[in-house]
Chain A
Amino acid sequence: MSDWQNSPPADDWTIDELMIARLAACFADGDQACNGMASFVPVSAFWLARLTHAPHLVWLAGAVGLEPRPDRVPASTLEAPLWRDSIMYVEQFGDFWNFALNGRWLTKFCVGAAQLDRYGNGNNSVIGADYHNPRVRLPGTAGLGDMGSIGKALYYWNPNHNPRSLVERVDFISCAGYLGGGSERADAGLDGGPELVITNLCVLDFHPETRHMRVASLHPGVTFEQVQEATGFELPAPEGKLPTTPVPTSEQVRLIRDVIDPDNMRRREFGR
């Protein structure tokens, strides 16, 4: 066990490491976590949590391999090198969804979406007004269309905060957030919902009544005006000074760079 508790803030952290450390803090000892495709930030965050504050965080790699022991983050987060040395292979259509649909387990889920709107609805389906004649065909909802509707707490990560990815209204809802805001999600009979959005500029959460996305903390050196400039909808003006997102400790940075992801796979998600 590393001496992560007494480690000082890093002085050479990079934005990928800050996002990973912030997302890791969302997962507690005893939680269960799973990852999907191209999920280098969540995978690194689960692993970091397991090496520091949450050694008993259960990780279901690729929704397939239980408690794996990969030797580093590989080029794919949905291939066998990630779930090397697992204690159990979980059959996708039977057991994985039996675990996920049961409300007791896998209560938190990390979502990456091409578009995310002010009420936390995600879109990975189509860009354009007509679903059957899209301007751009996106990959598809995969598990998001389930995870948004079955009571999970959703944690969005977005390494490329810009007005195209954070929009006023998604063109198409393929992951249910707070729908039209207010009580609409609860009125539709849905529990859970979006908790946080962690981007390369800031952390956002949702107003408990309006369900409008708002800035919760700014990353060091970033201003509210910069975040507003990069966002496709009007953010509520902050009441007083916004907190600064904590930077990763030097031990967290060491673990990410030397133990978890020495090949820098996590950086593939940035700069798109």
Chain B
Amino acid sequence: MSAEKQTTLSEAAALVRDGDTVAIQNMATQAAPMALVRELIRQGRKELGVVCLVGGIPVDWLAAAGAMNRLIGAAVSMEQFGLCQRYRKAVEAGAIRVEELSETALNARLGAGARNLPFLPTRGLIGTDLIDVNDNLVMLDDPFGGPSVVACKALVPDVALVHAHKADRFGNIGCEPTALWPDLGIMPKAATTVIVTAEEIVDSEVLRANPDRTVLPGFMVDAVVEVPYGAHPTSFFPRYGYDTAVHLEWVGAARDDEAVAAFMEKYVTGPADHNAYLETVGGAERQAALEAWEQT
């Protein structure tokens, strides 16, 4: 029998240390492990490096809290809600250093990390200026005589944070039919420590009924926490859509220091726990509206 991995949000977040490089599941307004991100901010984590494909509101909140000083990713945007203004301001002030990668280059860096290789190549980025400003990307002759490629140095994040639909208490992770982002495809496989929040902790028999839907094995997972609505205010299909109201309130606050402080107090540092947070953002009534995303 495997070891039990189930724990609390605060104990799981305590596995992340100041200065760690943390891979965060997120695609603009989708699927971010937001409860963990809020907990890291509440615990006062500093100098984090964030790895993401397209980072949205979690990156902006970490930037607003002064919790991060570097980003490795392909883009940072909240799509229809615009650029992440606190992140942008911190980068322009020199407080966050950005290693910008194309999607295939990020995939190659994480893939090499997962497979214990020094690097993997890509054909993306050739001709761009992104290679010149990044020591982790080097043009390489093809040993077989073909065109040159870009060697992308292995990236092993200290921690990967992911949110999932279902998990058992041993850390086996199951997903419902949905789009799969790199977060599950490669980030946890490259990272040293993997922390998963799940909408629900289920009996292992539930996962055994559909083993094709198990996407991460328990041996790879270090901590699992039951956190319903753990991706809010980002979407987590097929269960719920993104919360437009919270995104708009953040966008309205993000350019003003005092408004940002008030927002962070109200939604991030103020609520005593995740349940208190869910009440703050509208409770059961709001949840029912977000679950009806297919009718919108």
Interface residues of A (CB under 8 A from B): 37-38, 62, 64-65, 74-81, 83-84, 89-94, 97, 101, 124-125, 131-150, 172-176, 179, 185, 188-190, 268
Residue numbers in B under 8 Å from A134 (CB-CB) = 91-92
Q: Is the CB of B124 within 8 A of A149?
A: yes
Residues of A contacting B107 in the complex (Cβ-Cβ under 8 angstroms): 93, 97
Question: Using a CB–CB distance below 8 Å, which chain B residues touch chain A?
Answer: 27-30, 53-54, 73-77, 79-80, 83, 87-88, 91-92, 94, 97-98, 100-105, 107, 122-130, 133, 147-148, 177-182, 185-186, 235, 237-238, 241-242, 244, 293-294, 296
Enumerate chain B residues within 8 angstroms of A147, measured Cβ to Cβ: 124
Q: Is the CB of B100 within 8 A of A76?
A: no
Contact A78/B126 with A37-B54, A38-B80, A140-B74 known, Cβ cut-off 8 Å: no
| Cβ–Cβ contact B92 & A136, under 8 A | yes
B104 x A146 contact (CB < 8 A)? yes
With A136-B92, A150-B124, A173-B128 given, is the CB distance from A143 to B147 under 8 Å? no
Complex CA gap A2/B79 in Å reads: 33
Are the C-beta atoms of B125 and A145 separated by less than 8 Å?
Answer: yes
Name the distance in Å between B135's Cβ and chain A's nearest Cβ.
Answer: 12
A139 touches B94 (CB 8 A): no
**A residues within 8 A CB of B179?**
62, 64-65, 80, 83, 89-92
Question: How far is B72's CA from A105's CA once the two chains are assembled, in angstroms?
Answer: 29
4 shortest interchain CB distances as A-B pairs: A145-B102, A176-B127, A146-B124, A140-B75
Residues of chain A within 8 A of B91, CB atoms compared: 134, 137
Task: Among B75, B180, B244, point to the contact of A139 (Cβ < 8 A).
Answer: B75
Contact check, A172 vs B102: say whether CB atoms are below 8 A apart.
no
Once A136-B92, A139-B75 are accepted as A-B contacts, the answer to whether A189 and B182 lie under 8 Å apart by CB is no
Task: Evaluate contact between B74 and A150: CB separation under 8 angstroms.
Answer: no
Q: CB distance B77 to A139 under 8 Å?
A: yes
Chain B residues with CB under 8 A of A141: 74-75, 100-102, 128, 130
Q: Once the chains bind, are A149 and B128 in contact (CB under 8 Å)?
A: yes
Contact B104 A97 (CB under 8 A): yes
User: A38 contacts B128, CB within 8 Å?
Assistant: no
Contact A146 B122 (CB under 8 A): yes
Known: A79-B241, A89-B178, A172-B129. A146 touches B103 (CB 8 A): yes
Contact A75 B293 (CB under 8 A): no
Shortest distance from the beta carbon of A32 to any chain B beta carbon, whole Å:
17
Q: Which of A65, A83, A190 contacts B126 (CB 8 A)?
A: A190
Residues on the A chain within 8 Å of B244, using CB: 75
CB pair B241 A179 closer than 8 Å: no
A interface SS class? loop
**Do A80 and B293 touch across chains, with their CB atoms under 8 A apart?**
yes
CB contacts (< 8 Å) of B98 on chain A: these are 137, 140
**Are B92 and A125 closer than 8 Å at their CB atoms?**
no
CB of B123 within 8 A of CB of A125, answer no
Q: Are B29 and A149 in contact (CB under 8 A)?
A: no
Whether the Cβ atoms of B127 and A149 lie closer than 8 Å is yes
- Other than the given A89-B179, A92-B181, A145-B105, 4 more pairs (CB < 8 A) read A89-B178, A101-B104, A148-B128, A190-B126
Q: Which residues of B contact A175 (CB under 8 A)?
A: 128
Bound together, the chains give a CA A141 to CA B241 distance in angstroms of 26
Q: Which listed residue (B79, B182, B293) contacts A37, Cβ 8 A?
A: B79
Cα–Cα distance between A172 and B127 once the two chains are bound (Å) = 11
**Contacting residue for A132 out of B97, B123, B124, CB 8 A:** B97
Whether the pair A173, B127 counts as a contact (CB closer than 8 A) is yes
18 contacts between A and B (CB under 8 A): A37-B28, A37-B54, A76-B79, A77-B79, A79-B30, A92-B182, A93-B181, A97-B107, A125-B100, A131-B129, A133-B94, A134-B91, A140-B75, A140-B100, A142-B54, A145-B124, A146-B103, A149-B127
Q: How far is the CB of B5 from chain A (nearest CB, A)?
A: 25
Contact of B102 among A132, A143, A268 (CB under 8 A): A143
- Residues of B contacting A79 in the complex (Cβ-Cβ under 8 angstroms): 29-30, 235, 237, 241-242
In this complex, which of A136, A142, A150 has the most chain B Cβ atoms within 10 angstroms of its Cβ?
A142
Distance between A158 CB and nearest chain B CB, rounded to angstroms: 18
Complex alpha-carbon distance, A77 and B241, angstroms: 13
Contact partner of B130 (CB less than 8 A), chosen from A101, A125, A133, is A125
B130 — which chain A residues lie within 8 A by C-beta? 125, 141, 145, 173-174
Q: How far is the CA of A188 from the CA of B128 in the complex (A)?
A: 11
Known: A78-B29, A81-B294, A92-B53. A38 touches B79 (CB 8 A): yes
CB–CB B75/A142 < 8 A: yes
Residues on the A chain within 8 Å of B76, using CB: 139-140
* Given contacts A78-B79, A136-B92, A143-B102, A93 and B126 within 8 Å (CB-CB): no
| Chain B proximity of A108: nearest CB distance (Å) | 17
- Give every chain A residue within 8 A of B123 (Cβ-Cβ): 101, 149-150
Q: Which residues does chain B contribute within 8 Å of A174, judged by CB atoms?
A: 100, 128-130
CA separation between A134 and B96, bound complex, in Å? 11
Chain A nearest CB, measured from B181 CB (Å): 6
